[in-house]
Amino acid sequence: MTSAAMAGAKRRTGRSTGRILPILTVLLAIIAIWYAGAVWMNATWVRDQAARADTVLTTSELVRQTLMLERPVLPAPHQVAAGLWEGVAGQKITSKRSLVWHGWITLSATLAGFAIGTAAGILLAVGIVHNRAMDQSVMPWAVASQTVPILAIAPMVIVVFASMGVTGLLPKAMIAAWLSFFPVLVGMVKGLRTPDAMQLDLMHSWHASRAQQFWRLRLPSSLPYLFASLKVAIAAALVGTIVGELPAGATAGLGARLLSGSYYGQTVQIWAALFAAAMLAALLVMLIGALERLTLRRMGLAR
Amino acid sequence: MSALPIIAVWIGAIGLNTWLSRFDTRATRLAVALIFGATILALWEMIVRIYAVPPVILPAPSQIGASFATNTAILWTDFVQTIVKGAVTGWLIGAAAAVLTAIAIDRSPFLQRGLLPIGNFVAALPIVGIAPILVMWFGFDWQSKAAVVVVMVFFPILVNMVAGLAATDPMQRDLMATWAAPYGTSLLKLRLPAAMPFLFNGLKITTTLALIGAIVAEFFGSPTRGMGFRISTAVGRLDLPLVWAEILVAAIAGSLFYGIVALIEKKVTFWHPSQRPQRG
Amino acid sequence: MIDTAVVQARDLSLTFSTADGPVHALKDVSLTIDQGDFVSFIGPSGCGKTTFLRAVAALETPTAGTLAVAGMTPDEARRRRAYGYVFQAPGLYPWRTIAGNISLPLEIMGFSRADRQQRTQRVLDLVDLAGFGGKFPWQLSGGMQQRASIARALAFDADILLMDEPFGALDEIVRDRLNEALLDLWKKTGKTIGFVTHSIPEAVYLSTRIVVMSPRPGRITRVIDSPLPRDRPLEIRDTPEFIALAQQVRDGLREGHSYD
């Protein structure tokens, strides 16, 4: 072992012991800043109320009131947590006020779209690595399309579909599929191309057929890339679905919760929906991450 | 038999591209991509005309082009409102904040270990969702759009910049130590230049995010101009060609924005292996 | 030799703590390097030769024993810029030209612009790279890049030159040429050189003293003073003296059970 490698080993052991503490510290700092922000941003309103009622507030009274307003400018963390708990556990899950119900509407469209987009992306990628004409035709546009804000036109797609009488899960799933399609396509093409010339020559020297080459070399070596892009794709699919739920008229889904909250000034509701969406996103990405570790470990590729 | 010309164009284009792709030179590659794009446009136009698709569902490319030509004044106003004022301003502020934060936490591995996982986590969240909140806070005009963009681009750029500042290999840092270089010097002369490829990676991926944030935020309230506003009102009036013209503007703006950042990257990181002129 | 010790190590030990328990990179190493010496460190991986050089450069901190560099602590010597260090890889900045790279340490040390230019020019001549100052590193071959990195270490005129397998990544032919050039440079400048290598012929050809080390724990097994004259043409490698010396080094390596 060289000294550099040893220094690396030294650093690694130090890293694994202190991983949680820094994250907790930063999280605590964020919550503290959040509370301070809530007090600061809501103080004007509380002071105005007090002035109108001709009462003078002590500082502690002011702070207490800023953190329990019904429609605060910035709700305090505990208010959001309460709103989230109320939405998740305080309702029957079939209720229209249940975040579980709205979350399920969003999740089902996300998953449907993700499945379609991923399947299409993988199939097209396989076609592209095996057909030069397809590669040269499609790839430049696929890459260029990543610079176009496709997500921004999602609400419009919904409205157009609605004008044709198509509503519900399908249009949102289309957007989710479209958004997850490109990351998977680009990542998969890159992954299928990772085997270098030497590995391909080796396959060639064994007289492997194209199918054997694909199943035994290209596909396994593309999996790390596939999983990396699946994580991007599922997050994109979820964002797409939520944005697809924004147009006026939508009544179901986390996006609709955001919108109705913004119409009626229900800030706690907005934040609760936002956190529900964030947790859903984290859950989905972690799920793919777990799947990735499991698969790569079975293939002996895990690091 | 109305489908015949459509199929004919399709097969013709495939044949032409298959033949052209064998040469595999710069020129033919470009030609193949352009032919593919043109074919899609031609097929779109033919399908709309032959099957008389109502413009409410799908306008033909020619109709979109006509709408683009007649509405240039409106499109320009919207472009300035949404892209220049909302997206670009927000992107610049967000990028500057992210770079400064990365440098500020550079000397604290503790803060980095805390902030990086959170930054990575936040980068995967549906941040556009904060748009209604920020519109409430900052009003209907471009400031609220810029605020949404700042939040959206901050974390991806921060994560990239922190990774970039850590990217110098130990040998290079040892070298700086053998010269007894103070922290500021080694930051300025070694680590900032070495971080540039990473920074630009972050800057490039966030150009699209910036446009998305600026347009989507307009759905939650905007003055009577802006691309998001125009799209939602035009959809309401079923003026689909105008909607598509706005989408075209968004696409052009997106590619331009990305292209300009990529061009600056080429100038700044000319030394990086991915940017060097290919030899041999 | 004059009794001016440039590097003086006494009972030096250096232990890394790793996940698999402590690793004794150096154990009770004592060595004196005199002014104008060319000392090679040779031994298998893990024998501590690089660690010793890094400790001299204050890039590692010994856990026991004393180490003096030019009469100071290593860290003081580092801050006084008492030595130039050459790594195995050139480590040139791709965004600076060759001349820009060489003048980088000079900028850090606060030399004036005119001084920087003049020094850069001089060391470029010294390593036979005159005319390449305006090129970028990635436009030059590996051997030229390594020569530039040596020029960079020479530019600020430190008395000591520490080289950690500087030619390890180069092919034999380039390595021969650079060895010759290095000897030439050492004669011209009279610097004290500490040189880590894996190659027995390289160590024998270059050095006035050869330090043979062995691993687990890293220690010195033999110090061989070279009887060869200071003027050494490449052909000296075919003389019986040279071959006998190489044999001594090989014996020293075997003694340390270094290839078990």
CATH of the domain at B146: 1.10.3720.10
For residue B279, tell me if it sits in a domain. Answer: no
Question: Residue B181's closest chain C neighbor by CA?
Answer: C108
Could you tell me which of A252, C184, A159, A102 has the C-alpha nearest to residue B234?
A: A159
- DSSP class of residue A242 equals H
> Per the CB < 8 Å rule, is B113 touching A151?
no
pLDDT in tens, B233-269: 887 787 888 888 888 888 888 889 988 998 998 888 8
> Quick one: pLDDT band at residue A297, thresholds 50, 70, 90?
confident
> Per the CB < 8 Å rule, is C60 touching A10?
no
> Per the CB < 8 Å rule, is A148 touching B128?
no
Q: Are B138 and B199 contained in the same domain?
A: yes
Bridge partners, residue C16, by sequence: C23
pLDDT over threshold 50, residue B82? yes
Residue C46 region by backbone torsions, left for phi larger than 0, else alpha for psi between -120 and 50, else beta: left
Could you tell me which of A190, A171, A174, A194 has the C-alpha nearest to residue A120?
A: A174
Which subunits sit against A, judged by 3+ Cβ pairs under 8 A? B, C
Residue of B30, B125, B265 best to disrupt the A interface, most CBs of A under 10 A: B125
Per domain, the residue ranges of chain C are 1-82+159-260, 89-157
Could you tell me which of B91, B104, B211, B204 has the C-alpha nearest to residue B151?
A: B91
In angstroms, the Cα distances linking B80 to B71, B142, C213, C242 are 14, 10, 71, 79
Cβ-Cβ contacts under 8 Å between B and C: the total is: 55
For residue A2, list chain C residues with Cβ-Cβ distance below 8 A.
Answer: 45-46, 50
Distance separating the N- and C-terminal Cα atoms of chain C: 37
pLDDT over threshold 80, residue C183? yes
> Per the CB < 8 Å rule, is A267 touching B21?
no
For residue B137, tell me if it sits in a domain. Answer: yes
Least CB-CB distance to C17: which of A1, A2, A10? A10
pLDDT over threshold 60, residue A303? no
For residue C45, list chain A residues with Cβ-Cβ distance below 8 A.
Answer: 1-2
Q: Are B194 and B112 contained in the same domain?
A: yes
Provide mean pLDDT across the span C229-236. 83
Q: Are B146 and B259 contained in the same domain?
A: yes
Q: Are B19 and B148 contained in the same domain?
A: no
Secondary-structure class of domain C1-82+159-260 per CATH:
alpha beta
pLDDT in tens, C66-106: 888 888 888 888 888 888 888 888 888 888 889 988 988 88
Domains, chain A, with CATH or none: 3-73 (no CATH), 99-298 (1.10.3720.10)
**CB atoms near residue A267 (< 10 Å):** 24
User: Whole domain around residue B41: which residue ranges?
Assistant: 4-53
For residue B112, list chain A residues with Cβ-Cβ distance below 8 A.
Answer: 22
pLDDT for residue A135 = 83
For residue B273, tell me if it sits in a domain. Answer: no
Could you tell me which of A238, A144, A154, B270 has the C-alpha nearest to residue C139?
A: B270
pLDDT in tens, A240-296: 888 888 765 667 888 888 888 877 878 888 888 888 888 888 889 889 989 988 888
pLDDT in tens, A135-194: 888 888 887 777 777 777 777 778 777 777 777 788 889 889 988 888 899 889 888 888
Residues whose CB falls within 8 Å of the CB of residue C127, separated by 6 or more in sequence, listed in order: C147, C148, C150, C151, C154, C181, C185
Residues whose CB falls within 8 Å of the CB of residue C24, separated by 6 or more in sequence, listed in order: C13, C14, C15, C216, C217, C218
For residue B197, tell me if it sits in a domain. Answer: yes
Q: Are B8 and B89 contained in the same domain?
A: no
- How far apart are the C-alpha atoms of A244 and A112, rounded to whole Å? 14
pLDDT for residue A8 = 40
For residue B38, tell me if it sits in a domain. Answer: yes
Residue of B26, B36, B148, B152 best to disrupt the A interface, most CBs of A under 10 A: B36
For residue B60, tell me if it sits in a domain. Answer: no
- How far apart are the C-alpha atoms of A290 and B221, rounded to whole Å? 40
> Per the CB < 8 Å rule, is B57 touching A265?
no
Which tokens hold the place of B146? 């810029």
pLDDT in tens, A69-128: 777 888 888 888 888 888 777 777 777 778 888 888 899 999 999 999 999 999 999 998
Buried b (16+ CB within 10 A) or exposed e, B64-96: bbebbeebeebbebbbebbbebbbbbbbebbbe
Least CB-CB distance to C95: which of B175, B179, B271? B271
ipTM of the complex: 0.75
Bridge partners, residue C12, by sequence: C29
In angstroms, the Cα distances linking C22 to A7, A223, B202, C15, C19 are 12, 38, 41, 6, 8
For residue B49, tell me if it sits in a domain. Answer: yes
Cβ-Cβ contacts under 8 Å between A and B: the total is: 167
For residue B62, tell me if it sits in a domain. Answer: no
Q: Are B153 and B254 contained in the same domain?
A: yes
pLDDT for residue A11 = 42
Provide mean pLDDT across the span C225-239. 84
Number of domains composing chain B = 2
Question: Residue B197's closest chain C neighbor by CA?
Answer: C95
pLDDT over threshold 60, residue B231? yes
Residue C219, chain A, CB below 8 Å: the answer is no
Burial class (CB in 10 A: 0-12, 13-18, 19+), B199: buried
Q: Are B72 and B26 contained in the same domain?
A: no
> Per the CB < 8 Å rule, is C18 touching A2?
no
- How far apart are the C-alpha atoms of A180 and C61, rounded to whole Å? 52
Helices (H), A67-98: 77-89
